[in-house]
Structure 1
Amino acid sequence: MVHPLTHVGEAIHNRLGSLGLDWEILDDAFTFGLEEASTCTDRDAGFCKGVMLYSRLGRRLQERLSRFDWIGGRPHNQQCVWSLHAGVRVLHVTGNVETGNPDPSAQVAPERPGGSARRDLILMNAQRSLFDELDPGSGFRELKTWFLLYRMGKSSLRSELSYTENLSDDGGGISWSERIILPEVPLPAGLGMGDDRWAFDHIASK
Structure 2
Amino acid sequence: MEPVCHVGVAAVQRLHELGLTPDDLHKAIAGGSAEARLCTEMDAPGMAGYAFWSRSNRTFRERMAPKGWAFSNAQSILRTIHPSGSFTITAVSGSGMVGEEAANFSGDVRTKNPKGPAVAKLVERNYVQLPLFPVARPDVRDEVEVNELPTWFLLYKSSKEGLSFELSLPVEMHGKHVDTWRERIILDDNPFLGAEFDIKRLDEIPAMSPVEVPVEFKGAL
Which stretches in structure 2 are left out of the alignment for 5+ residues?
128-138, 202-221
Percentage of identical aligned residues: 30
Secondary structure at the counterpart of residue 185 of structure 1: coil
- What is the aligned length? 184
SS of structure 1 residue aligned to 2:112: coil
Q: Deviations over 1:109-133 (max 9, x none)?
A: 111221111111112239xxxxxxx
Could you tell me which residue of structure 1 aligns to residue 191 of structure 2? 185
Give ranges in structure 1 of 5+ residues lacking alignment.
127-137, 196-206
Q: TM-score normalized by structure 1?
A: 0.77
Render the CA deviation track for 1:85-131: whole Å, top value 9, x for unaligned: 161210211001221121152621111221111111112239xxxxx
Distance 1:76 1:11 in 2: 33
Name the structure 2 match of 1:159. 165
Using the TM superposition, name which of 21-30 and 142-151 deviates more.
142-151
> How far apart in 1 are the matches of 2:46 and 2:102?
30
**Aligned equivalents of 2:28, 2:12: Cα separation in 1:** 17
Q: Which residue of 2 aligns with 1:108?
A: 109
Corresponding position: 1:94 with 2:93: yes
Shift of 1:3: 6.5
Q: Does 1:150 align with 2:156?
A: yes
Could you tell me which residue of structure 1 aligns to residue 56 of structure 2?
57
Q: What aligned pairs does 1:20-169 form with structure 2 within 5 A after superposition?
A: 20-85=19-84, 87-105=86-104, 107-125=108-126, 139-140=140-141, 143-164=149-170, 166-167=171-172
Change (3 A) 1:168 1:61: closer
What is the Cα-based RMSD across aligned positions, in Å? 2.9
- Judged with a 3 Å threshold, the aligned counterparts in structure 2 of structure 1 residues 148 and 40 are, in CA distance, closer, same or farther, namely same
Give per-residue Cα distances to partners, 1:70-96, cap 9 Å, x unaligned: 112212221111114161210211001
SS at match of 2:190: strand
Deviates more, 1:19-28 or 1:179-188: 179-188
